[in-house]
Amino acid sequence: MNELLHIEQDKDFPDKFYGIITSIKDNNNINFLDYENNIYSYINNKMRFPFYFGIIPQTYIEDGPLSFIFFSENQYSILTKIKLEPSFFIKVPTGEAVLNIVFSEVNSKIIINKDNIKNILEEFFNEEISIINNAKNILINANNEYHRKYVKIIKKL
């Protein structure tokens, strides 16, 4: 699992980025992990969420990688690597922690506005969420923080 957090990002990052799906749509729990290989779940017994959820490799914010969500009519499986485009950033307080989520777009026929997303997420998490328009700046900062924490030393032979 640890290797998933360190997958190289897309050459067009932050305009496009790679994400790893950790939870599939039409489920009632989301799974996310941290850099110490801990897997956490958030479960809602009353509702299933209609989106895919995952982590963004090579990002670091508040002790873990950034998360992403996207809607799609296509079927994807867990641990699929997918190329996405950031739309906006969402902060979700979940009691002890805050989920930092990039809402993303993939080639899809599903078009959802911010108000609908906000309503869905507030209903699922039972918390008021905050939406920030520019997700690219968050991606850049989280990627820079990742590189500060996880410096790779390469020896030339």
At 77-117, the pLDDT tens digits run 999 999 999 999 999 887 777 889 999 987 767 777 888 88
Q: Would you say residue 156 lies in a domain?
A: no
**Predicted model pTM:** 0.86
pLDDT in tens, 13-29: 999 999 999 999 888 88
In a domain, 154, yes or no: no
Location of structure tokens 């992403």 = 68
Residue 26 lies in a domain: yes
27 falls within a domain = yes
For residue 155, being part of any structural domain is answered with no
Q: What is the largest CA-CA distance in the chain?
A: 57
The CA distance from 86 to 15, in Å, is: 7
Domain residues for the domain of 138 are 2-149
Q: Are 30 and 49 in contact (CB under 8 A)?
A: yes
CATH of the domain at 37: 3.90.80.10
Would you say residue 157 lies in a domain? no
pLDDT score at 108: 65
How many domains in the chain? 1
Q: Cis bond leading into 14, ω under 30°?
A: yes
SS (H, E, C) the chain: CHHHHHCCCCCCCCCCEEEEEEECCCECEEEEECCCCCEEEEECCCCCECCEEEECCCCCECCECCEEEECCCCCCCCCCEEEEEEEEEEEEECCCCEEEEEEEECCCCCCCCHHHHHHHHHHHHCCCCEEECCHHHHHHHHHHHHHHHCCCCCCCC
Q: Name the average pLDDT for the chain.
A: 86
Would you say residue 13 lies in a domain?
yes
Query: What is the chain's alpha carbon radius of gyration, rounded to the nearest angstrom?
Result: 15
The answer on pLDDT for 151 being more than 80 is: no
pLDDT at 34 over 90: no
Lowest mean pLDDT among 7-11, 77-81, 151-155: 151-155
User: Tell me: the pLDDT tens digits for 51-64?
Assistant: 999 999 999 998 78
Q: Is residue 126 part of a domain?
A: yes
